[in-house]
Chain A
C-alpha cells in the first residue's frame, strides 16, 4: 500500500486495495476488474494472456472516458491460497488508468488448481464494497467485471452461494448504477493434443465450455463468452472486446447510453 491507495477487506480473508477516494478527481467512475485464471492448465499460454491483458488495459487510454476509469487486475490459482486474499493475488487494486503501467505487469506462471469461485467472489465483492464507499461520498458508479478462465471451479474457499449473493447485490441498482459481469472461456487445448487425440481434445473443449457456461448461469453472471482457442489473434480480438466493453460501460455512466432513435417519442 502507498498513500494513494487504501486497503480493504471483506468476506473471510479477502482483501483488496483501492485509490484513496479523497484523491479522486472526477465526479463519476466506472469500476473495472479483470480476473485472470493462472491455474496450471494455462501453462504454455502465459505470454499470450499477458499480451491480451496489456492490450486490453492499454487500449483504455484512448477512451474518451479514460479519466473516469478505476481498474483492478487480479489473478487466481490455488498457489495463492496461503497468502492474503485466499486463492487470489491482486496485481493492482482499483487505480486510475493514468497510474497504471501495463509494462510493469508481472509475468504469469500457470500452476495449481482453479479457484474460480474465489476469483469471481473477489472481483465482485471488492467491487461492491469499493462502489459503496464511492456512493457514500456521492460519486456516481457503475462497473464491469471480466473473469477469464480455462476451466471450472475446483479449489475455492468461497462457496457458490457467496458468489451468487455478491453478484445479486451488484445488480440491484442500489450501489452501482449497473454492473456487467462477463465470464470469458478460453480453450487451452494444444495443437499437439489435438493432433495426437482429436476426439479427446474435442471432448475436453466441450466439457470446459459447458462447465463454464453452467457456472455463469448458476452464479448469475451477466454473460458467458466462449472465446475459443487461446491463439494470438483470438486473444487480440478478446482484448479489443474487453476495452470496447469498458468504453461502452463508462459512456453509459456518463451519458445514459448511446444515442437513441428519436422518431418514436419526439
Chain B
C-alpha cells in the first residue's frame, strides 16, 4: 500500500530507520506515491509485488552503483518494510520546472538569459554524455524530468529525475513522452540526443521544434510533423512573437538543430559552448500577421541577452542600455560606450563613433575587424549632427562636415562649412531649427554633400520642441502657450527650394516616425495603425494591424523599417 494512513516505520538501505507520516506525503502518480522526509524523497510503489516481478530492487542497486553525478538524482537504495522492498529513496533536490524556463515572463522575472541557458544546456550535455559512458540510456528525459536550480542564474544547475525509468543493462525502458521521441529510430544514444535537442531547443527559443503554424498541418499534429521532419526551420512556418530569435543559439548548435530536426540527421550534438557562425539560413523564419491591407511581416532581428536595445542608427548599429554597440547584420559587439549622447555612421570598412563624455566629444573609428583608432577634431564643438551617414560638427558659428580619410591610419578631416547662428539654432534628429532675429529657418543636410537652409515663416513665433528630417521631408512639432502641440510638415522638391506645407494638432511632442532614404515615411500615431507616406508625392496609406502599437519605437536600418519594443529589435515590412 503506497498511500499511508498512519505513521509507518520503514528502513532506508544505507541510512537506517525512519517514520513516514501522512504529513510527509507530496503526490502520487501511476506507479507510486511520493513522500518527502528531510533531505530525501521516498517513492513507495502502489504494487510492491510488481516491484518484485520487475526486479526493481536489482535495478535500483545497479543504478545506485553505476551513476554518480551531481546532476543525476540517482536512487540511493531501497525502502524496506517487514523485510520486503516497497520502494526506493533518493536525494531531495529543489529546482524550477523547465516549462517555466521556456516562457519569457519567468525568464524576465528571474533574470535568465541566453548565457545562462547555454550553461544549462552544456551541463545537460555533460549529463547525457556521462550516462551513455556508463552504459545507460535516459530514454524519457522530457522537460518534466529536468529541474533547474537557478539560484545563480548565470550558472544554473540541471537535475534529471525519474532515473528509475532509465534503461540500463538488461532493464529496458518502457515509456517515453511523444514530444521528445525520435520517431525515425529505436531507443538508442541517438534518440537520447534527439530528446536532449528538443528540450534544449525549447530552452533557447520557447517553442518545440515541430510547432508553429505550418500550412498542411492542423494545430496539434505534432507527431505527424515530427515524422515528416516538418520543423520550425521550414520556410513558411509561422511563429508567434513570444518565440525567441533563433539567432541567439550558438552557431554550431543551431546548425545541428537544423540538421537533426529538418534533415533527419542523427549525429552527436556539439557542445553549446562551441562558437562559430551558423550556416543555417534563418531568413524565412518570421512571424506573419495578416492584415486587411494585405499583410505586415514582423521579423525579430536582434535580442541582446540581458540588455535592451535603446538606440538604432541607419548604418545598422544599435546601442543597448549597457552601452554596448552591436552590428545587427553580424550580431557582433563592435564597441562600448558610456551613457552620454552617441552617434554612429557607417563607412565601407567600419564605423565612426562620436560620443559625449563629461561634456566633451570623443571620436573614434572601429574597423570591421574590431581595431579601434582614436580620432581628433581640432574644433571647439558644441554639438554634433548626423544626417544619414554624414557627420557634422557644430560650433558657435559653423556647421562643418567631417570626412574620414584612410591614410596609414584613419583621420577625420574638416570638409565643407556652412555659416550658422550657433546660439539661435536648436538641433534635432538630422535637422536644425534656427531662429534668426525672429525669422525661423530649417537647416537640413541633403544629397551627397549639400545642406539646405530654408526660411519657414510658418514657424515664426512658435516654440519648437521636436523635429526630424530625412529625404525631402522635415517635420517639426511646436507647442503653443496654451499647451497645444502642433505638427508642421514640410515636403520639399528635390533641390529643397520649394515645399508643400501642412499642419495638424497632435497629442504631444513625440515623433514616432522614420524616414527612409528613398523618402518614404512610416509612422505610428494610434494603436493598430501604421501610416506609410511619401510626403513629396502626397501619397499616404494606412495599414491596419492589431499588432501595431504606439510603444513600438520606429527607426530604420538602410532602407528597412525597424522598431524596438521591450528592448528587442524587429523589422517591419509589407508582405
* Chain A residues within 8 Å of B272, by CB: none
* Chain A residues within 8 Å of B139, by CB: 262
Let me know if B242 and A24 touch, CB within 8 A. Answer: yes
Let me know if B98 and A256 touch, CB within 8 A. Answer: no
Q: Roughly how many angstroms separate A260 CA and B176 CA in the complex, as a whole number? A: 5
Q: With an 8 A cutoff between CB atoms, is B280 at the interface?
A: no
The smallest C-beta distance from A179 to any residue of chain B, in angstroms, reads 11
Let me know if B243 and A260 touch, CB within 8 A. Answer: no
Q: Which of B105, B144, B206, B549 contacts A64 (CB 8 A)?
A: B144
Q: Roughly how many angstroms separate A66 CA and B96 CA in the complex, as a whole number? A: 11
Let me know if A261 and B175 touch, CB within 8 A. Answer: yes
Q: With an 8 A cutoff between CB atoms, is A83 at the interface?
A: no
* Chain A residues within 8 Å of B238, by CB: 138
Q: With an 8 A cutoff between CB atoms, is B142 at the interface?
A: yes
| Known A-B contacts A178-B220, A259-B175, A259-B177; A25 and B103 likewise in contact (beta carbons under 8 Å) | yes
Query: Considering only CB atoms, which chain A residue lies closest to B30 in the complex?
Result: A258
Query: Considering only CB atoms, which chain A residue lies closest to B165 in the complex?
Result: A259
Q: With an 8 A cutoff between CB atoms, is A106 at the interface?
A: no
Interface residues on B, range: 35 or more
Let me know if A266 and B102 touch, CB within 8 A. Answer: no
User: 8 Å CB contacts to A: which residues of B173-199?
Assistant: 173-181, 186-187
* Chain A residues within 8 Å of B104, by CB: 25-26
Q: Which of A68, A257, A261 contacts B99 (CB 8 A)?
A: A68
Q: With an 8 A cutoff between CB atoms, is B151 at the interface?
A: no
Q: Roughly how many angstroms separate A168 CA and B222 CA in the complex, as a whole number? A: 23
Q: With an 8 A cutoff between CB atoms, is B212 at the interface?
A: yes
The smallest C-beta distance from B124 to any residue of chain A, in angstroms, reads 17
* Chain B residues within 8 Å of A66, by CB: 100
Let me know if B289 and A27 touch, CB within 8 A. Answer: no
Q: Which of A65, A138, A177 contacts B220 (CB 8 A)?
A: A177
Q: Tally A-B pairs: CB < 8 A.
A: 117
| Known A-B contacts A24-B242, A26-B103, A27-B206; A263 and B218 likewise in contact (beta carbons under 8 Å) | no
Binary flags per residue of A67-103, CB closer than 8 Å to B gives 1, else 0: 1100000000000000000000000000010100000
* Chain A residues within 8 Å of B206, by CB: 26-27
Query: Considering only CB atoms, which chain B residue lies closest to A172 in the complex?
Result: B218
The smallest C-beta distance from A96 to any residue of chain B, in angstroms, reads 7
Binary flags per residue of B118-154, CB closer than 8 Å to A gives 1, else 0: 0000000000000000000001101110000000000
Q: With an 8 A cutoff between CB atoms, is B241 at the interface?
A: yes
Q: With an 8 A cutoff between CB atoms, is B377 at the interface?
A: no
Q: Which of A67, A138, A258, A262 contacts B187 (CB 8 A)?
A: A262
* Chain A residues within 8 Å of B98, by CB: 64
Let me know if A260 and B178 touch, CB within 8 A. Answer: yes
Q: With an 8 A cutoff between CB atoms, is B106 at the interface?
A: yes
Q: Which of B176, B187, B240 contacts A139 (CB 8 A)?
A: B240
Q: With an 8 A cutoff between CB atoms, is B207 at the interface?
A: yes
Let me know if A27 and B243 touch, CB within 8 A. Answer: yes
Let me know if A26 and B242 touch, CB within 8 A. Answer: yes
Query: Considering only CB atoms, which chain A residue lies closest to B140 in the complex?
Result: A259
| Known A-B contacts A177-B219, A255-B179, A261-B175; A22 and B549 likewise in contact (beta carbons under 8 Å) | yes
- Please list the 7 inter-chain residue pairs (A to B) with the smallest Cβ-Cβ separation, ordered nearest first: A64-B97, A177-B220, A25-B104, A25-B105, A26-B103, A259-B175, A67-B103
Which A residues contact B (CB, under 8 angstroms)? 22, 24-28, 64-68, 96, 98, 135-142, 173-174, 176-178, 251, 254-263, 266
